[in-house]
Amino acid sequence: MTLDLNKCSIGIEFGSTRIKAVLIDEKHHPVAQGSHDWENRLVDGIWTYTLEDIWGGLQDCYKNLCTEVQEKYGQKIEKVAAIGFSAMMHGYLAFDKDDKLLVPFRTWRNTITRNASEKLTEAFNFNIPERWSIAHLYQCMLSKEAHVKDLAFFTTLSGYIHYKLTGRKVLGVGDAAGMFPIDSKTHDFDAGMVEKFNQIAKADGYPMDVKSLMPEVLCAGDEAGSLTAEGAKLLDPSGTLQPGIPLCPPEGDAGTGMVATNSVAVRTGNVSAGTSIFAMIVLERALGQLHRELDMVSTPDGLPVAMVHANNCTSDLNAWVGLFAEFADKIGAKISTNDLFSVLYNNALTGDSDCGGLMSYGYYSGEFITGLIEGRPLFMRQPDAKFTLANFMRTHLYSALGALKIGMNILINEEKVGLDKLLGHGGLFKTKGVGQKIMADAMNAPVSVMETAGEGGAWGIALLAAYEVNKAVGESLPDYLNNKVFKDSKGSTIAPTPADVAGFERFMQGYKAGLAAEKAAAEQFR
């Protein structure tokens, strides 16, 4: 079997712990993959990746994709129909007029901008989360950081990569919505808020036009440039990949998650559960009032989306599974990581519906929704708790959804947002049925997982790249996905169980009450 590479598209996404590349054929099926594991580091109190991490990781990931194509199909990748790049949203990559990085990349994981976040939220009457790019910039101003005077351009990770490969300073509207508020009518940065920010900056001694410092905003399907000769060499140092390949607008991982789950139409939603966790609900109308726990962002084609984002999800779960793996190794038990997850996760379903008096907080970093500036992974239990393995694992699964649940309650119960379907994807759902069941009970709503859910954001950005070059005149992104990608897709749906819904609610009462202990741990355990 050989591929018609001229009809294939490539999607590459930078996740928190892995860079993944997917090659899809003209039927949108993944036919080859490549990946590279990486990890952010805490340097001088800042969660960051170096430029060497970024480019070395990208090149290794792409090389691994090419190796699989060579091994499976006996072909070298010289040309494809289109390429797309996506990455974790938000953060702060700041450059001077010579494209020199002014300060280390500040990722979404940093919770160091609370003062700026609060001041901008009040000024805009619009929620500006701590991880948003504009909050990072304003915090730099408030802190009188020397580099601000030299700032010529700031962007997100996907926007930076796209710029270096095409020479175009652009950003997909979904990722742009994590930089600065978007006007859903113009599909551009909100002009009124841009002017307000300029006035605030000038009053603080930083006269500027902030819009000129940010990338141009594009919607899915808009022309976004093509791979330059320098970009081709940067992506593929072997020189095999040829320039001239179209690139779609770079997007954030929230947008690609919506695409990968076909959740871009109104009244649809998806939950991405991995290192962080977020729910994206496409709205019929604007929210009635400001909620600090909810972000207003956008689909890749510009529809308004309410986003509930929590910084912490599976990291602590994975750490505990790693501990059990170490124990298994010490006693000579041979068990694969996947099998270990399966055993522990499925056993969790046999535990008490309220976890029997156990509690955990998997906070590796701060958590805005629950008011924590810093995090400390914490496990505790009542003296008379039912301390079983099932309850232990169930507790960590429940806790992974705790902050998300608080935000979703506001969206559903207070704002009365309509939701026809909720789709899950990400690492939490890899063990079949378990994360899906826990999520359904936590959200008190049916949760579906598609067969393609494991493909994730790299597949999602590959689909956006394919849409860029294959869409018919006037064909919307939802129509393209419904008619050409997901028409015959299969999946499974799990409905909530009333007894387990009630158990989760009891657990959440303890979760909220115990936050004082988590806060004390963050303050005292240093």
Average pLDDT for residues 212-241, to the nearest whole number?
98
Residues 232-273: pLDDT tens digits? 999 999 999 999 999 999 999 989 989 998 999 888 898 989
What are the pLDDT digits (tens) for 280-337?
999 988 788 899 888 888 999 999 999 898 999 999 999 999 999 999 999 999 999 9
For the record, the structure tokens of 32 come out as 């080859």
pLDDT band at 455 (very low <50, low <70, confident <90, very high): low
Residue 263, both tokens = 């959740």
**CATH topology (fold) of 255-311+405-491:** Nucleotidyltransferase; domain 5 (3.30.420)
Q: Where are the domains of the chain?
A: 255-311+405-491, 315-395+499-524
In order, the DSSP letters of 214-269 are: SPEEE-TTS---B--HHHHHHH-TTS-SPS--BBPPPEEHHHHHHHHTT--STTEE
**Which pLDDT belongs to residue 286?**
78
Phi-psi region of 86 (alpha: psi -120 to 50; beta: other; left: phi over 0): beta
Would the pLDDT of 62 be above 90? yes
What pLDDT band is residue 10 in, cutting at 50, 70 and 90?
Answer: very high
Query: Could you give the CA distance from residue 227 to residue 354 in angstroms, rounded to a whole number?
Result: 53
pLDDT of residue 491: 85
Alpha-carbon separation of residue 66 from 22, 75, 456 (angstroms): 10, 9, 20
The arithmetic mean of pLDDT across residues 60-71, rounded, is 98
C-alpha to C-alpha distance for 257 and 268, rounded to whole angstroms: 12
The pLDDT score that the predictor gives to residue 248 is: 98
Pairing of strands 277-282, 295-298: unpaired
Per-residue model confidence (pLDDT) at position 272: 85
Check pLDDT > 90 for residue 450.
Answer: no
Query: Looking at the predicted structure, is the pLDDT value of residue 453 above 70?
Result: no
Its pTM stands at 0.81
User: Would you call 493 helix, strand, or coil by DSSP?
Assistant: strand
**pLDDT for 399-408, tens place per residue?**
999 999 999 9
| CA separation for the pair 250, 229 (Å, rounded) | 19
**According to the model, what pLDDT value does residue 372 have?**
92
Q: What's the rounded mean pLDDT across residues 476-482? A: 95
d(CA 468, CA 414): 38
Report the chain's mean pLDDT, rounded to a whole number. Answer: 95
Predicted pLDDT at 140: 98
The percentage of residues in the chain with a pLDDT greater than 70, rounded to a whole number, is: 99
Predicted confidence at residue 477, as pLDDT, reads: 96
pLDDT band at 427 (very low <50, low <70, confident <90, very high): confident
137-168: pLDDT as tens digits: 999 999 999 999 999 999 999 999 999 999 99
Using CA atoms, how far apart are residues 500 and 33, in angstroms rounded to an integer?
Answer: 38
76-111: pLDDT as tens digits: 999 999 999 999 999 999 999 999 999 999 999 888
Helix, coil or strand: residue 344: helix
Question: The tokens of 40 are what?
Answer: 């952010």
Which of 265-279, 328-342, 510-524 is predicted least confidently?
265-279
pLDDT at 454 > cutoff 70: no
- Among 132, 120, 368, 152, which Cα is nearest to 252's? 132
CA 462/CA 427 separation, integer angstroms: 19
pLDDT in tens, 367-392: 989 999 899 999 999 999 999 999 99
How many C-beta neighbours within 10 Å does residue 517 have? 14
**Lowest mean pLDDT, pick from 31-40, 63-72, 213-222, 453-462:** 453-462
Q: Averaged over 479-493, what is the pLDDT?
A: 91
139 contact partners, CB below 8 Å, separation of at least 6: 112, 113, 115, 116, 117
